[in-house]
Chains A and B, each alone.
Chain A
């Protein structure tokens, strides 16, 4: 499984943008970049995913480097409800088993 590297924790002020980085230097051509988050006492929640192009949805934006060795999850205006652990995961859709391998993630703290 290709590995990802994320900072252990980050802090943001409420109403400000947050950029959560992820490095994945060994990414393969069939790996999609997925982001999930886990709020306290809840199951992981899908946030966004992408392959090569930047992606936007109602929750966040995903910026993918041209060489695909890194990506950034962007929360445009952080709220207290965005405080969670954010996981960057590579998912090879051609791999039998469809497995998501969770690392330690980034703990995002949001200050009011």
Chain B
């Protein structure tokens, strides 16, 4: 089944403790992206990657890092999480330079205390 898989689904952590949220897709898509969703603010793009080793900032990149060493994986790294990064995170993928739809993961609910 074509899908985007995120792990973990739920995570509670403490301020300052580095964490990684993994994202993997099995559709050979070049493009991958991370969004966060917050009440009243909607879905906002954090980072995106047009292909392997090509990453760019989205609208809200502060406090996050990403890497794209392989086509299928696009992990989101929080080096020093803070409570304002408590949010619902979604990973998505799509073929680049096409009009095709995105495929989204099921989400990771992160709580930073």
For window 63-112 of A, CB contacts with B under 8 Å fall at 91, 93, 96-105
B13-21, B67-75, B78-86, B89-97: which lies at the interface: B89-97
Rounded to whole Å, the gap between the CB of A23 and the closest CB of chain B is: 18
Closest chain A residue to B94 by CB distance? Answer: A98
CB <8 Å contact, A51 and B104: no
Q: Which residues of A contact B103 (CB under 8 A)?
A: 46
Would you call B45 and A99 a contact (CB within 8 A)? yes
Q: For residue A53, give the distance in angstroms from its CB to the closest CB of chain B.
A: 13
| A contact face: mostly helix, strand, loop, or mixed | loop
Inter-chain contact total with CB atoms closer than 8 Å? 57
How many residues on chain A are close to B (CB under 8 Å)?
24
How large, as a class, is the contact surface on chain B? Answer: 20 to 34
- Of chain B, the residue at the smallest CB distance from A95 is B97
Interchain CB contact under 8 A, B101 and A36: yes
- Contact of A51 with B99 in the complex, beta carbons under 8 Å: yes
Q: Are B48 and A46 touching (Cβ within 8 A)? A: no
**Residue B11 at the chain A interface, CB threshold 8 Å:** no
Contact A46 B102 (CB under 8 A): yes
In the bound complex, what is the Cα–Cα distance between A35 and B35 (angstroms)?
Answer: 17
Query: Considering the chains assembled together, what is the distance between the CA atoms of A34 and B102 in angstroms?
Result: 10
A16 at the interface (CB under 8 A from B): no
Smallest Cβ-Cβ distance to B40: which chain A residue: A104
Which residues on the B side are within 8 Å of A100 (C-beta)? 45, 92, 102
- Judge whether B104 and A43 touch: CB under 8 Å: yes
CB-nearest residue of chain A to B105:
A43
Question: B48, A42: Cβ atoms under 8 Å?
Answer: no
Taken residue by residue from 30 to 48, chain A's Cβ proximity to chain B (1 for < 8 Å, 0 otherwise) reads as 0010101000011111110
Q: Hey, which bits of chain A sit against chain B, CB under 8 A?
A: 32, 34, 36, 41-47, 49, 51, 91, 93, 96-105
